[in-house]
Chains A and B, each alone.
Chain A
Amino acid sequence: NAGVTQTPKFQVLKTGQSMTLQCAQDMNHEYMSWYRQDPGMGLRLIHYSVGAGITDQGEVPNGYNVSRSTTEDFPLRLLSAAPSQTSVYFCASSYSEGMNTEAFFGQGTRLTVV
């Protein structure tokens, strides 16, 4: 049981490049989400999904796309990276309902856009 796995751990991009941050969970959680963490701003929700085939926008969705073709995977795509997207990105998963809705987090991806 690996939990939530994010790849890569570190990435440097040039402005305008595209890339996909990978996230996979093996806990059969319906709910998955992406956050970015910036100093003094906590974690801000980018996109989330309540199940395969369903995604929705969070607080800061601009510049990011997501898809959820399977329960396990929830990739985050940057189509044209900008320096403002330099951040640490965390993927999280949880059950959608009931008493166990706490989020389990991946180890994070530190992204630098130059």
Chain B
Amino acid sequence: AQSVSQHNHHVILSEAASLELGCNYSYGGTVNLFWYVQYPGQHLQLLLKYFSGDPLVKGIKGFEAEFIKSKFSFNLRKPSVQWSDTAEYFCAVRDNDMRFGAGTRLTVKP
């Protein structure tokens, strides 16, 4: 089964800073890739997904992610973060089942 690595445990940024969160999965083949966000006390919500086609995918709230097949990576980016982006972010890969990374906690200082 796939495993997912998220490189950053906790990221602290000031508002308007740019964001990039790393995500790698363990092996190739046909996979679906996802980024989810979890606001404090809430359940996970989908930010964006990659199924096929254009490797640069755009999601909600100005987030985007780039699928790089050769690197088994699916990094999340946002050009300018807001205080309301403070949350935990999870990368996930869907193969036979869906596996999640350990998550990255993002704190945005106003």
Q: Residues of A with Cβ closer than 8 Å to B?
A: 33, 35, 40-45, 48, 56, 58-59, 90, 92, 94, 99, 101-103, 105-108
Contact = CB atoms under 8 A, between A and B. Distances in A.
Contacts, number: 55
Contacts of B9: 40
Interface centre among A33, A59, A106, by most chain B C-beta atoms within 10 angstroms, is: A59
B11 interface: no
A104 to B, nearest CB: 8
Interface residues of B, number: 24
Interface of B: 1, 4, 6, 9, 32, 34, 42-46, 49, 51-52, 90, 92, 94, 97-103
A42 B32 contact: no
Given A90-B44, A102-B34, A42 B103 contact: yes
B100 A43 contact: yes
A102 B97 contact: no
B68 to A, nearest CB: 20
Contacts of A107: 42-43
Nearest to A48: B97
Contacts of B100: 35, 42-45
Contact of B98 (A33, A41, A56, A99): A33
19 contacts: A33-B97, A40-B103, A42-B101, A42-B102, A44-B100, A45-B98, A56-B97, A58-B97, A59-B99, A99-B51, A101-B51, A101-B94, A102-B34, A102-B46, A102-B49, A103-B92, A105-B43, A106-B43, A107-B43
Contacts of A94: 98
Interface centre among A43, A90, A94, by most chain B C-beta atoms within 10 angstroms, is: A43
